[in-house]
A and B are shown apart, each in its own frame.
Chain A
Amino acid sequence: MNIDRIIGRFLLGKQSQDELKTLEQWKTDAQENLKELQGIQQLWRDSQGLQDYQDFNVDSALAKLESTLSNDKNVHHTGSKVKSLLSLKWISGIAASFLILFLGYQYMVTQQTTVVGSNRTVHLLADGSSIEVADGSDLILADSNEKVFKLKGSAYFEIEKQENTQIEILTDYGEIIVVGTAFAVQSTDDYTTVSVSEGKVNFNIANGSFPLTAGMTASFDGQSMTVHTLSSVNFKSQVTGKLIYDSVPLYQVVNDLNRHFGNKILLSEEESNFGCKVSSVFSDLVLADILQELSLTIGLKFHKEENKYVIDSVSC
């Protein structure tokens, strides 16, 4: 029985009597099957309206808009020059007041924790380096020179290389020392993972230092350190929510999912047995849904043991 094909024919009303019987049986086999078929029929109807739907270039449109607004701003500034001069006296008076407030604020800032980025914001450093902070994460400034940060959650760092300057990121399970590179850090209550896209960083833990180069991902849970070499395509996934696989062997996909979700998948057979390749994009999906998708595309069979998923077999 090929239920995929029967569904494909059923949607056009071209199913035979035998196929209809099979489909009815499949629907009654499990409540979930009935819900799945209803969901598919709804999708089929919803997608009728997609004809002529286009993919407009958002990035170039945004660049065009920014250019328009920037020109507009320049024109506006020239026009308001005279007016600005007239209000100079007022401004100098107000500025003095603000200076007092600012000094007071600076004093307060040094006395408390400063969160410089959270929930998908990009924090820019003076040297052009950037830090993209993932949803539900906090990047906290740990020194006034913006050289030391504490991270709770996940962030992607693109640090400009500068002589005699290094950035430090502090996590519960170690610190990451950076000179100039691009890398991701995931800092949770249970572990810290560092994944390097470009350049080199040192992952320092209590009993040693681990130099990591491009393509390496290392995870430390306070007891053991695991290091893998992977394609770095998805190293920004904590920030973007996207995992992209283009003809990637399953065992590498599993390692990458373990990097992203924090070692939640166990391989119960030898890695070499899994010769299947995966081509798909997963956006903001939970691990159970990704494994469910893989069961449809490559016949992956798995079960759950406590809080981990165990892969039993594949049939591609």
Chain B
Amino acid sequence: MTHDSHKYKSQFQVIFKEYYNPLCNFANSILRDSALAEDAIQDVFTSFWQKSKVDTIDNPKAFLFQCAKNRAFEVLRSKKKMSDYALKLEREYTDVLAIEELSERYMLKEKLFRKIAELPPQCQKILKLSKLNGFTYKEIATELDISVKTVENQIGRGLRLLRLKMATAL
């Protein structure tokens, strides 16, 4: 299959769409800058297109996360922003956590994020404030002008629904 064939392009697009968001979030966890993270992942995919063959890589997920990790730390070094925290993170990502485990972790986050967005509006809003913004139940109640009792109820219901959705997705 050549790079120009329609089948190759659509295979590449499927991979891009599946991994772009979790890869950007992964890079952002290193770079702490969403614009830089997006640039880094653009570089990763450009190189992936130019130098690799989508249909010959057995595990594109591990491959892409490995490239994303390398690229993100390269960017930090080139900008001389390699802090103690970043050094510690690099060691952790290299020594402690295998890339396979890291990529699984981010793919799980992606699924959770997508499935929360599929919940009914009220459940979705409350779970997002709780899990994405880190609000307490009381803060959510104040923010949405509802009772804490309603928040507790919607958190329980939202998680029961989310479990059903995740059971099928995983």
Contact = CB atoms under 8 A, between A and B. Distances in A.
Interface of A: 2-9, 11-12, 36, 39-40, 43-44, 46-56, 58, 61-62, 64-65, 68-69, 72, 120-122, 124, 279-286, 289, 292-293, 296-297
A40 B120 contact: no
Contacts of A46: 108-109, 112
B58 to A, nearest CB: 19
A62 B13 contact: yes
A280 B28 contact: no
A56 B118 contact: no
A246 to B, nearest CB: 9
Name which of A56, A68, A124, A293 has the most chain B CB atoms within 10 A of its CB: A56
B163 A40 contact: yes
A284 B169 CA distance: 8
Given A65-B42, A282-B118, A54 B168 contact: no
Contacts of A55: 21, 113
A141 B169 CA distance: 34
A51 B155 contact: no
B155 A61 contact: no
Interface stretch (B67-75, B84-92, B146-154): B146-154
A12 B151 CA distance: 12
Nearest to A243: B118
Contact of A58 (B20, B120, B137, B155): B20
Given A12-B137, A281-B118, A289-B168, A43 B159 contact: yes
Contacts of A53: 25, 109, 113, 132
Kindly list the 6 A-B residue pairs having the minimum CB-CB distance in the complex, ordered from nearest: A4-B156, A8-B152, A281-B118, A7-B156, A8-B156, A8-B155
A297 B120 contact: yes
A56 B21 contact: yes
B120 A279 contact: yes
Given A46-B108, A58-B21, A61-B16, 14 more contacts: A2-B153, A8-B153, A8-B157, A44-B159, A46-B112, A51-B133, A53-B109, A55-B113, A61-B41, A68-B46, A72-B50, A281-B119, A285-B168, A293-B165
A6 B38 CA distance: 41
B98 interface: no
Interface residues of B, number: 59
DSSP majority for the A interface?
Answer: helix
Interface in B86-137: 105, 108-109, 112-121, 127, 131-134, 137
Interface in B44-67: 45-46, 49-50
Contacts of B20: 56, 58, 61-62
Interface of B: 6-7, 10, 13-14, 16-17, 20-21, 24-25, 28, 34, 37-38, 41-42, 45-46, 49-50, 105, 108-109, 112-121, 127, 131-134, 137, 149, 151-157, 159-169
Contact of A7 (B25, B159, B165, B168): B159
Contact of A4 (B34, B38, B160): B160
A244 to B, nearest CB: 9
A51 B149 contact: no
Contacts of A280: 118-120
B153 A4 contact: yes
5 contacts: A8-B156, A12-B137, A43-B162, A47-B116, A61-B16
Contacts of B108: 46
Contacts of A50: 109, 112-113, 116, 131-132
A39 B156 contact: no
A36 B34 CA distance: 36
A44 B160 CA distance: 11
A9 B42 CA distance: 43
B17 A62 contact: yes
A296 B161 contact: yes
Contact of A293 (B10, B25, B161): B161
